[in-house]
Chain A
Amino acid sequence: MFLGAIFLEIMVPTIRYLACAQIPFLLAAVLYYALTRTRGTMMLIACAAGLVLDCLSAIPLGYTSACFCLVAFASSLFRGLVYEDSFLTPVVFGAAGGALVTLIGYALIRTGLDQQGWPPGWVALKTLGTALMAGIVTPIVFFVARSVDGVFGSRTRTRI
């Protein structure tokens, strides 16, 4: 599933009118692992996903990994409080995670690079766009991941 998310992330274009907001398949995969796997596995997946995104973009190494780890860790704190099988859970976690990753990533890029900044309106639109796309895509990724887990017997469908 991780490789599939990477492939989709490479293939699907960003959305120009949402300030080039990306459709965050990898973030959705990280959130799924954050809510359904041990913390150790979650952190390793978050680091690997972030590393792949950093290497395939101009973002300095480690920035997206840090963002993904923070978001995954924050999501894992709510594991005992939410229904992982509910439709709303991935929507809310995806939207919040997408917004957080964009904002934290922007803060890291601005402090770390000596380049022209981005207008606040553009950043706000990008944050909103990523949150919107994450809210749409995360439930789909969760559904696919649950089905794959069901086929391979990785876990049973229970309340966490």
Chain B
Amino acid sequence: MTVFGIDVGGTFTDGVMIHDNGAVTTRKSPTTPENPAEGILDVLERVATAVDEPLDTLLSRTDVFFHATTLATNITIEETGATVGLLTTRGHEDAGRIGRMTTRHAGLSTNALKDYVTQSKQPPFASRELTIGVGERIDRAGEVVVPLSDEDVREGARELLNAGADILAVSFLWSFANPTHEQRAEEILETEFDVPVMLSSEIAPRLGEYERGATTTISAYIAPRIQAYLSRVEEELRERGLDAPFLVMQSNGGVIPGSEMMNNEASMLLSGPAAGVTGAANGRFDAAATDNVICTDVGGTSFDVGLVVDDEPQTTPSLTVNQHTLYQQSIQIETIGSGGGSIAWLGSENDLNIGPRSAGADPGPACYENGNEEPTITDADLALGLLDPDYFLGGELDVSQTAAERAIQTKIAEPLGVGVQEAARGIYDLMNAQMADLIRKVTVENGYDPGEFTVFAYGGAGPTHATGYCRELGVDEVTVPLGNAAAVFSAYGLTTADIRRVREISRPMSEPFDRTALAEIYRELRDAVTSEIDADPAELSYTLEADIRYEGQYSELVVELPSEILDTTSAVTELDPKELFEQRYVDRYGESARHRSGDIEIISQRVMATRSVRETAIASEEPVAEQPSPAKRRDVVWAEDTRESDIYFEDPLVHGASIDGPAVLQLPSTTIPVPPNAIARVTEHGSITVDLGGEHA
């Protein structure tokens, strides 16, 4: 099978081709925001050149084409979406403006939270002027209190369209409990007004009018551009010969055909980052080692953490985008704004801080000598000897180690009265400690011990810091998946994704559960989700989930239910949702939190259908017996002391290679420090595993 994975990021478009034999070819190209298809074709051409085959024939013999893009996020951040008109229940037009107050602070860092004066609320995606309340009311039981006024819908639609709305969203109170009013509104709008419509009962049928409305309006906001984009890219690829499925990544780690993205656009908001975690879960690098993985991705301005537990990416039912909370099942990814470009600075008490300011790509770190004289993380890495000034980004960029050291000297070392290298080491350690704190927070908050995980490090700067944060965490092993290709790991991860569709509903239920009703809900969800995937149901596998809480609680735990729940004849005792809930509850919160006498309630029900796209396999190489010798040696500042260390380039790093620290592996796209007493090994898939050997460096 020949497979492509193309990940369009903010700066670069990454391309991965998996050959018939499982070999991997990767290339990067600058992203072309005006017409992203150009960047995509450019990276495809580069891959074609690398494999020495015309692109047209390459595409025509491609079996699957996977795609991820940051477009959805960019549209929301750059505010370049459609003009959305919203019809809602009269009296509740301000749900989006009030935004539960969380639109002021959702996702802010601790420092930003403390800074009230600079805060602001994110406005709703349908402005207040383009939000119209209509006469209709349903109550919590799903009973109609006030029937829908068709005339209000018509009048509202006329007003919204006159005011310039391109697309309409409909979000009524309790529509997830009874969608008939929304469905009737859609009928009127589509037949009489010929305008695209999105319903909250379809986009996000879950309790909570703010989040449901926000998810529906953001979908409407991004939909026209997403649709135009996807069809344009697909069309260009088809013109160049592609005759295979064109699959697009969703936040939940699954793909669906681009042509089926209609009404599901909000699922593309976390498209790129989700792909990396998916790759770690599905990549099959080394089955034993990758059951539980902490996925870490260090970019220029951010550090992302995701978890894989028992081969499954950890997901969350909600997603925060630009201070909005959306109902969107997503791979759980926590982020802090620290990356290679983050600036290290001293506060008034000579207190060392990192970020949130970043030197970005322009002017860039001090070592670029491009106007920025404040030291960044990258400058510290250079000063420590971890990065090679003569081989920066594979030698593509000239950087000045002197400038990096000067910045650290003036801004940090002198005021603190320490040497440059000590200061650089301090910056490196503090950065790693903050990353470790985020990882610890993510794992501990989910009820896991980081020591039971292996760490995957990818993204350009990830591998350079991973041995540092693993030491902080007590994790013994770091894997740089696919070696040099770790820099484009998200694009690789894409190619491992399965087709996945999710359907959910909120039908709150209390103990004792009506098993027949519960089975009925799950069967309906299963049938609905099956009908959305164009495949033989026999090829599908289903995951059934319930959001459950103790009665009286307000936040739910996601509990996976066995498929027997669909079958009302099986013994109730073996399928007690309560037992499953309590087990997960105690795992996560500890025995001391267990409720003595509480009943539980099920708030939402969800079914995911998955269809495997392909068997994921990476070519494996025979081990080579001969051990590589270093290309050169230089001084590197390790935690214990400065040591002359072996420097290796990519060429000799083939399966079987085993390198004792202290050493630095300089690959074209990333650099892997191997501390003293650690051992790096190259696996059969070209991944590099650093065993910190308990002797954490």
| A is bound by B | no
> Hey, which bits of chain B sit against chain A, CB under 8 A?
none
> Hey, which bits of chain A sit against chain B, CB under 8 A?
none
